Structure 1
Amino acid sequence: MLNIPFRNVNIDQFIDYSTASIMFDRVAPQSLAHANWSEEYPYRPSVSFRMLHGTSHFFLQFDVEEEFLRAQATKHNEAVWKDSCVECFLSFDNRETYYNIEFNILGTGLIGYGSADRKARKRLDIGQVERIATFSQITNVGNNKRWQMILIIPKDIFGSNENLLSRGKVFANFYKCGDELPQPHFISWKPIDSPSPNFHQPEFFGEIHFE
């Protein structure tokens, strides 16, 4: 089980990636180490994440190093998973339903909600996606590109703020993908046991606890 620390922070002080990243300084990174379909997709970029929560927001930081970058989706709720993309899937009701939060390197986002049945899932309005603030930076590391992103996610996107974390256990998985990169890949925090790439499998989510 992963413990998510609580931080009492003032988000108004964040003006860029550097100022926002300071709050993660004492949080240990979690590696996305599982290339679940490695025979067909052997490429494994270096990816880690850190997560915090405050009174009204979740804070999520991704750190990615990969050979190629792709950024084609420029409007929210477009196919961001085809780009250099990081994702967080969260379930607050024992994996009956879950949210999929997906952002590409540009800060273009997509949020879906529902059960694992794709036909039953719906996307949140673009206005809700726009409420998530993003900060990012890109640097060259030899032949690779390192990009880092922070997502500041209002808790009330997911429902009643006061009841959100009191519904029992919270389950999640975290991902990095790039379906249309020169080297497609599907990396996860918790392993997924299935014959073909599919992140929408809540039975493989791991338990997380919000302090």
Structure 2
Amino acid sequence: MLFVPFITVADVNTPALIIESMQNVQGNSLSYVNWPDAFPAKPEVSFKIAHSGEYLYLNFFVEEAEIKGVVTEDNGPVWTDSCVEFFLSLGDSPYYYNAEFSCIGTALLAYRKGRAGAVHATPEVVGRIKRYPSLGTDVIEKQEGDFKWSLLVAIPVSAYWNSGLTTFKGAKARANFYKCGDDLSVPHYLSWNPILTEKPDFHAPQYFGELAFE
């Protein structure tokens, strides 16, 4: 089980204040390479997660040998870029929300039971998610090198529009965290909790791990 601590953030529009409030939050690794025969690549990826009741805060840290950030429209195919993802199922619901973010902060948010039948968030709802990419928001064409980047996001409870949730305090949930990049020269598929499907598939809520919000 992953504990999600409560923090106080003075101003959600100031990323330095969020980072300061998360300074003592435990880091977690995306250590599972679930399909090593076909996709053995393993960038170094970790994340921190916390909440303030109204907002859920996620800070991803990535070291990889190739980056790409060309999708600029929210709810576009961000998974084809250098991408980090957070899938969350609240309470006992069979549904989950998939939040996906490219290295330049472009976002996708949808509500679904599985790979098919997604209901995407409206532009207004996705726009409520605050994103602070260390690389900025300009397009980054695919390039190889030695890259270190981070992405801080603040997701308001209202972004989980079908949940009826009004605060993250005391919430019980199941989730998984991912890193991918389908159109990179060397694609990779990392996760926080292991996935036992035959082929790469992050839309596998049966393999979510438990989250407990303070």
Q: Does residue 1:162 correspond to 2:159, yes or no?
A: no
Distance verdict in 2 for CA 1:29–1:46, change over 3 Å? same
Q: For the residues of structure 2 that align with 1:12 and 1:186, how far apart are their CA atoms?
A: 31
1:202 to 1:95, Cα distance in 2 relative to 1, 3 A:
farther
Any stretches of 5+ residues in structure 2 without a counterpart?
136-144
| Letter of the 2:173 counterpart | V
Q: 46-55 or 91-100: which moved more?
A: 91-100
Distance 1:178 1:26 in 2: 29
Describe how 1:1-211 pairs up with structure 2 within 5 A.
1-12=1-12, 14=14, 16=15, 18-94=16-92, 96-116=94-114, 118-138=115-135, 143-158=145-160, 159-162=163-166, 169-211=172-214
Counterpart of 2:141 in structure 1 is none
TM-score by length of 1: 0.91
Displacement of 1:127? 1.4
Count how many residue pairs are aligned between Structure 1 and Structure 2: 203
Instruction: Quote the offset at 1:12 in angstroms.
Output: 4.5
SS at match of 1:11: coil
- For 1:136 and 1:61, the matched residues in 2 are separated by 10
When the two chains are superposed, the root-mean-square deviation of aligned CA atoms in Å is 1.7
SS of residue matched to 1:25:
coil
Aligned-pair identity in percent equals: 36
The answer for unaligned runs of 5 or more in structure 1 is none
SS at match of 1:203: helix
**What secondary structure does 2:37 align onto?**
coil
Following TM superposition, by how much is the alpha carbon of 1:174 offset from its aligned partner in structure 2, in angstroms? 0.2
Q: Give SS of 1:70's match.
A: strand
Output the amino acid matched with 1:136: P
